[in-house]
Structure 1
Amino acid sequence: MARSTAAKTTVAKTDAPALDTKSRPSRRRGKDTFEVILTTAGELLAEVGFERLTTNLVCERAGLTPPALYRYFPNKYALLKELAHRLMDAQDKIVLSWLEAGGTKSSTLEESVAKNRDLQKQINAITRDFPGGDWILRALRALPMLQEVRTTSRDMVAQTLFEILKAENPAASEDRLRTATRLTTQMMYAATEMVLEEPDQDEEKINEEICWMVALYYQHLTRATSAATD
């Protein structure tokens, strides 16, 4: 029985596609090719989705031979992973800049909503402008092999937000605040996914609702902390 289990485990690992790039170019020509491959993959992703995306399609559109692509990417999943990392990095930079600029500090509930709304609009815009952005979001949810990219990004944002809010509210329960930051981070990103994947929905209304939800949630948390310490 032990041998059978080990054999199955080995097969599962063997069948898993390689996700890392084979190499990263150091010369200008190689860098240009690398970027052309990724840009083309993103454009095709927006047109055909991740299920129909193939390395052959990318090569045909980019005017490259398969060996030129395979020099850097072993398969389409490695392409998706690189694109996903870039999108998550772009989103994370916006959030971190917003936090550094005092995004969590507000004197009124309305100001908090307005600041959250500004952040949400920026995240929506950069995701929409990113080649294949909405399909990358779908791939991150649908493909287990890519979920770590999404989880790592969201956990980093939630942890940074937690540290800032804990410093601003030292009396707050650490466990409750940590849960709150993870929940609200996921909620706001889920709103972005809804806007991008359901374009017939009213983006302004979705932004407004999620920002009020988050602002009211933290207001309640702050008041509960104050009441507990009085």
Structure 2
Amino acid sequence: MTIGRPTDEAAQIDYLTEGAPTYLVKVPTQKRARDTFNRIVAAAVDLLLESGLACLNTNAVSERAGVNVASVYSYFRNKESILFFLAEFYENSRVALVAAGADRMLSAPEWASALAEIIDSLVVFRIEHPGCVVVRRAIESLPDSPDFDGASTQQAAEILTRAFSQLSRSVSPGQLQKIAHFYTDTVTATVDRAFSAEPHDSEAIEFLKEMSTAWLAIFLTSGTGPDLIHAQR
């Protein structure tokens, strides 16, 4: 696939689509309130993209969103809770994309095409949500912050382990879990690298799909996975 240039996150994105948010004072339910909430969150993302964590505060967010600062505090206690909400949204979205792809792996005639679609969907999400990386880095800079990235990677790997177990009868559950973790880590790292420079590296994404499919075919189709794992130790 061709990687487009990321754009600023737009206020029309609905940030309340993935799971029950943990870090809100309250959850908006009416359309007008949801629209205001989404403007606040999009404003925070834009500030992070433009100036980084140092310039993120509730006054700046309210000014950028065009709302009273009291509206910001009606949903968020402080700037950290805005960051935590965003991290939770991004990581829950990533897990949801992997889960949808895992379901397709089990129903599609060829699991490889569904696996490639997982990578494509993660790339599209990265393009549509350029704030996901800057939020992750901001979270990492805060002491004692939750490990959102680690938790979502664990969830994604568990989902893929269950899918892989339906596609292989010769690899043990423990080995499949290692394979799923390695695959998840590799996809995340490669997509990050592909977006780390301009222009974005479309060839790296295509190579990732080809090589990961060839590697997983060893375990999911030929039954030689256990011997290879022992040989690599």
- TM bin (shorter chain): 0.7 to 0.9
Amino acid at match of 1:122: S
Q: Output the CA distance in 1 between the equivalents of 2:26 and 2:153.
A: 27
Residue 127 of structure 1: CA displacement? 1.8
Conserved 8 A contact 1:46-1:133: no
Q: Output the CA distance in 2 between the equivalents of 1:163 and 1:219.
A: 16
The match for 1:11 is none
1:99 to 2:140 alignment: no
Q: Output the CA distance in 2 between the equivalents of 1:161 and 1:33.
A: 36
TM-score of the superposition, structure 1-length normalised? Answer: 0.75
TM-score of the superposition, structure 2-length normalised? Answer: 0.75
Amino acid at match of 2:121: Q
Residue 147 of structure 1: CA displacement? 4.3
Residue 165 of structure 1: CA displacement? 0.9
Q: Percent identity?
A: 21
Conserved 8 A contact 1:137-1:193: no
Amino acid at match of 1:22: V
Give the number of equivalent residue pairs.
205
1:127 to 2:126 alignment: yes
Q: Output the CA distance in 1 between the equivalents of 2:174 and 2:57.
A: 45
Conserved 8 A contact 1:96-1:157: yes
Closer, same or farther in 2 for the Cα pair 1:132/1:225, shift >3 Å?
A: closer
**1:134-179 alpha-carbon deviations (Å, 9 max, x no partner):** 3123235444555432222221111111011112213212221111
Unpaired stretches in structure 2, ≥5 consecutive residues: 1-21, 229-233
Residue 23 of structure 1: CA displacement? 1.7
Amino acid at match of 1:102: M
The match for 1:152 is 151
Residue 129 of structure 1: CA displacement? 1.0
Q: Note the aligned Cα RMSD (angstroms).
A: 2.8
**Structure 1 SS opposite 2:39:** helix
Which structure has greater helix proportion?
1
Q: Output the CA distance in 2 between the equivalents of 1:206 and 1:146.
A: 32
Amino acid at match of 2:192: E
